[in-house]
Amino acid sequence: MDRIKRLSYEVLDQHKSKFTENFTDNKKLLGDLTIIRSKGLKNEIAGYITKFIKKENYEQELNEAKADSSKDESTPIEETGEEQISAPEAEEDVIEIGEEPVDVPETKAKAEEKTE
């Protein structure tokens, strides 16, 4: 397998733009660009090149999709026409129940001290 990868990368370094996702076309192109007497070896190299090109194209599509989705998520709300809803401003440590404000204890220890 190392030999197939090595030979495939050597061919791809020089002629990557000529190869496609079609095995038959890649096999013919490989025959035109190189001299490989073994039919089996030529098929294995053409198959590896085809697999490599398909994987590269798939990864490129994924990266483009991620870039598009992150672009959509980073769009400010003002541009989308949606209103921003802000949380009501509340006084720190005070909750109003009825008419009298009640202090909210910060920790359990302070709550126990106040109840004793």
What's the pLDDT tens digit per position in 5-50? 999 999 999 999 999 999 999 999 999 999 999 999 999 999 999 9
Domain ranges of the chain: 2-77
Q: Is residue 67 predicted with pLDDT exceeding 60?
A: yes
Q: What is the pLDDT of residue 8?
A: 95
Answer whether residue 104 shows pLDDT above 90.
Answer: no
Tens-digit pLDDT profile for residues 28-39: 999 999 999 999
Q: Give the Å distances, CA to CA, from 90 to 47, 51, 86, 87, 101.
A: 66, 60, 12, 9, 12
CATH label, 2-77, candidates 1.10.10.10, 1.10.60.20, 3.40.50.40, 1.50.10.10: 1.10.60.20
DSSP 73-104: HTS-HHHHTPPP-PPPP--TTEEEETTEEEEP
Which of 99, 101, 82 lies closest to 91, judged by CA? 101
Provide the whole-model pTM: 0.58
